[in-house]
Structure 1
Amino acid sequence: MSTFAVFGMTASAALGDARKQTKITKPSGKAGCPPLELTPSEWNEAVQRNADAIMAGEKVKQLSALFDTPLHAQQFIDLAKKAGACRDLKIRCKAALLDVKGKKILSPKTRMPVIGWSDYLPGREVA
């Protein structure tokens, strides 16, 4: 059962997110006028600014596929660090979520533990 994955942010993932989020138009500044098209160089500059902002932020995303062992996830982290700029790389596992007191959170409908991503700690029970 694959339960481990690497979460964090790399420069290439930030650039991909920035390309999806950056619009190709900008407001004209005049009421009732259509927006202006960005030139390719202006769009590339806007994408780079957005990518830098994403890398400076706190948002993380799942970077890897699911792994069977944390060793494979650690190897992915090592390769990602060699490939370029990255931040906040962590191994997370699918496990029962815990509340503040350390008790498992139960689903009100099924009365079964809620399963979600939590930071991997060696020696901890995995769902």
Structure 2
Amino acid sequence: MSTFAVFGMTADVALAEARKTTKTTRPNPKPNAPPLELSVGDWNLAVQERADKIMRSDKVRQLSQMFDAPQYAEQFIALMRKQCVCRDLKIRAKAILTDAKGKPIINAKTKAPKVGWIDYAQSANAA
């Protein structure tokens, strides 16, 4: 069962997200007037500014497919660090979510334990 994945942010992912979310118009200073269209150069500048803001934020995304073992995720992280600008690369494991007391969180609708991503902590014995 695949349970490990790499989460973080790369410049390429930030730029793609910025392209999706940056508007092509800006508000018109005149009241009750239609919005003004941005030129291609202005839009590209706005996209780059948004991508830079995303890279400075704490937002992370799943960057890899799911792996069967954490060593494959570690290899993926090593390749990512060599190839591109990235930040906050972490391995997360899919597991049953627990509350502060260590008891599993139960979904009220299905009565099944909730499953989600948690940070994977490598054991001290692993070599």
Q: TM-score, normalised by structure 2?
A: 0.90
Deviations 1:4-39 (A, max 9, x none): 111111111100100001011111111121111111
Q: Which runs of 5 or more structure 1 residues have no equivalent in the other structure?
A: none
SS for the counterpart of 1:116 is strand
Pairs aligned (count): 123
1:87 Cα deviation from its structure 2 partner: 1.0
* Superposed counterparts of 1:28-43, under 5 Å: 28-43=28-43
Q: Go from structure 1 to structure 2 and tell me whether the alpha carbon gap of 1:36 and 1:109 turns closer, same or farther (over 3 Å shift).
A: closer
SS for the counterpart of 1:104 is coil
**In structure 2, C-alpha distance between the alignment counterparts of 1:110 and 1:23, rounded to whole Å:** 40
- 1:56 maps to what in 2? 56
Q: Does 1:26 align with 2:23?
A: no
**In structure 2, C-alpha distance between the alignment counterparts of 1:18 and 1:81, rounded to whole Å:** 22
Give the residue type in structure 1 aligned to 2:48: Q
**In structure 2, C-alpha distance between the alignment counterparts of 1:101 and 1:110, rounded to whole Å:** 22
Among all aligned residue pairs of Structure 1 and Structure 2, give the percentage whose two residues are the same amino acid. Answer: 58
The RMSD of aligned alpha carbons is 1.3
- 1:87 maps to what in 2? 87
SS for the counterpart of 1:12 is helix
1:117 Cα deviation from its structure 2 partner: 0.6
Q: Does 1:121 align with 2:127?
A: no
SS for the counterpart of 2:103 is coil
- 2:101 maps to what in 1? 101
Q: Does 1:112 align with 2:117?
A: no
1:103 Cα deviation from its structure 2 partner: 2.0
Give the residue type in structure 1 aligned to 2:108: P
1:82 Cα deviation from its structure 2 partner: 1.1
**In structure 2, C-alpha distance between the alignment counterparts of 1:48 and 1:110, rounded to whole Å:** 44
**In structure 1, C-alpha distance between the alignment counterparts of 2:41 and 2:70, rounded to whole Å:** 42
